Amino acid sequence: MSDFSHLPVLLDRVVALLAPALDHDGAVLVDATLGLGGHTEAVLQRCELARVVGIDRDPQALALAGGRLASYGARFQGVHAVYDEIPDVLDDLGLDAVDAVLFDLGVSSLQLDMVDRGFAYREDAPLDMRMDASGGPTAADVLNTYSAPDLARILREYGEERFARQIANAVVRARETQPFTTSARLVELLYDVIPAPARRTGGHPAKRTFQALRMEVNEELVVLRRALPAAIDAIAVGGRVVVESYHSLEDRLVKRAFADAVRSDVPEDLPFVPAGHEPAFRLVTRGAEKADAAEVDHNPRAASVRLRALERLTPSPSAGVA
């Protein structure tokens, strides 16, 4: 696959948020969700003093992005890792701190477009959904082994599926006859279980179930919960963490992590901030920024994006200067 026409969401705004932290010699960005490298390419083009460490758990994505970014030479380095392993990656590279970390969460264009990966519900494919296909349980394993209550829980929590219990019960009944192996059979079951009026609103009736399975298979919220504090701790003074999330649970974790970072230990009624108690971080964005109508029309994936950014103001007790 060599089609790099997919547009990164809020590309110009993301680069604008990162640029102030990358405007010096030796600046380093960690693109924690490299994907096809769209954000990284824009940073390398527009922030000429910066270099990028691109992390992805998907070997196919790393290979394609590496080819795309080869012309930048040593300014780009790809690393096969999960993004909660940021501290280990930086340690391996001999970096005490970096100047920026970017997360563009969710599934990548590559994974959606490669039918055999099983992320898309519009074509029949093996129920895999692993971002790193080299190991770990697949979506089929989840469907064929989880209890009905556990299936209902992940469909309700990760997919916000109103008919989670009914779908889970139907899956358990159906797998007694034949295990689930491909997406078409699951989609057919969803059409049977979800009432017709509900199918006519809110997009494709399989969208929420497939999202929930993907998030469970890849432990996305578990990983994000570990990755956010690691990224915040990793940035140097003036450094920024920028996050694009597409699910309410993801954005809630980001909002909470950023709120914890900017919280002051000085009583609100104190008329001044004592020396040594200055806030360590500030919020760069005012709440969560969203895409405007023009961007959504041009790039439908932007419809659900929530963009937040945080900047370090004082040195970290555990990180040095990049």
> Has 146 been labeled as part of a binding site?
no
Among 141, 185, 186, 180, CA closest to 167? 186
> Has 56 been labeled as part of a binding site?
yes
**Torsions phi, psi for 299 (to 5 deg):** -140, 90
8 Å CB contact between 273 and 313: no
8 Å CB contact between 166 and 193: yes
> Has 104 been labeled as part of a binding site?
yes
> Has 37 been labeled as part of a binding site?
yes
DSSP code of 289?
B
Helix then strand then coil, in percent of the chain rounded to 5, is 50, 15, 40
- 76 forms bridges with which residues in the sheet? 52
Task: Locate 218 and state its tokens.
Answer: 């890849």
> Has 83 been labeled as part of a binding site?
yes
DSSP code of 182?
B
How far is residue 132 CA from its own chain's centroid? 14
Task: Locate 120 and state its tokens.
Answer: 């898309």
Q: Please provide the DSSP assignment of 196-265 as one string.
A: HHHHTSSS-TTHHHHHHHHHHHTTHHHHHHHHHHHHHHHEEEEEEEEEEE-SHHHHHHHHHHHHHHH--S
Pairing relationship of beta strands 98-104 and 28-31 according to DSSP bridges: parallel
Binding-site residues: 37-39, 56, 83, 104, 111
**Binding site membership for S-adenosyl-L-methionine: which residues?**
37-39, 56, 83, 104, 111
